[in-house]
Each structure stands twice: as structure tokens, then as C-alpha cells.
Amino acid sequence: MGEWSRSVIPIARGLCLLYLTNKYLGTTVITYGPSMLPTLNITGNLVLVERISTRTGKLRPGDVVIFRSPETPRKIVCKRLMGMEGDQVTYIVDPKNSDRCKTIVVPKGHVWVEGDNIYNTKDSRNFGAIPYGLLQGRAFWTLLPRKDFGSLAPKPR
């Protein structure tokens, strides 16, 4: 092998390992916006996301998840998982204008997600239950800002 291939092969292997780690094990995500206040900051948090739970079916209501937006597929969204398929979920239809509640049963192959800040979020109350296949992973640890460093523990319903 030539000099060129001896330097390129380790770089290619490293990039392949990085890709596989990001795709199948975990990654970091920057979240921002008001929908997850007070759990996550409006100005942004850097969170660790593991991708194993979505493949093994280990997600539970209360987990913070990231998923592809059902309305804008290029956009990744962060919300709290409120119900799995078959679960009965009661939610406030329009929290800004009334306290009228509605109860639904999450359809097979879907999950129900809501932002922690019910007054300023676009979630399953707007676009309905999302297909399980849109889930990308479970956020479990906040890295930045330093004051928020620590576990993103599930919040009970």
C-alpha cells in the first residue's frame, strides 16, 4: 500500500465509526424554543440523545423525546412523551382560551407528545398522534448550559 492509502484508511474508518455511533447509539442535539419550558431553556440546551430506546421499545410516558415533525419533515422537534399506543390520554384542547378537556386512545403504531409549556407549544394537540417511526431518540442528559447540567429525568403523567 502506498503512503496515501495508509493515511486515508484510518480516517475513513473513523468517519464510519462516527456515522454508526450517531445513527444507532446516540448523538447530541441543540434544543431551543418555548415549548419545553421550564424543563429546557428558550435560548437553547445541548442534550445527549440515545437512540437505542426507540429501537427496543423501552420508551415510557414521561420521557423527553426527539422526533421528525409530522408537518415539516426536515425539522427535528423535542417534546415529552405522554402516551403510547393503546394508552388513554386526556388533554386540554385549547389551554389559552378554555379548560375544556378531551380524551383519546392513542392509535396502534403511534405515540402522543406534548410540550411542557402547554400555553406555547405545537404538539399532538395540534397535529394528532405521531407515528412511532418518526421518533429519533430519547433525550436523557443536559450538557449545556452548565447550570442545567444533569439528568433529564422522566416526568410522571
The active-site residue out of 7, 79, 98, 151 is 79
The active-site residue out of 35, 147, 151, 155 is 35
DSSP letters for 77-113: EEEEEEE-TT-EEEEES-TTT---EEEEEPPTTEEEE
**Is 69 among the residues known to form the active site?**
no
**Is 155 among the residues known to form the active site?**
no
- Distances, alpha carbon 60 to alpha carbons 47, 111, 156, in Å: 18, 10, 10
Cα separation, 60 vs 81, whole angstroms: 7
Q: Would you please indicate which residues are annotated as catalytic (active-site) residues?
A: 35, 79
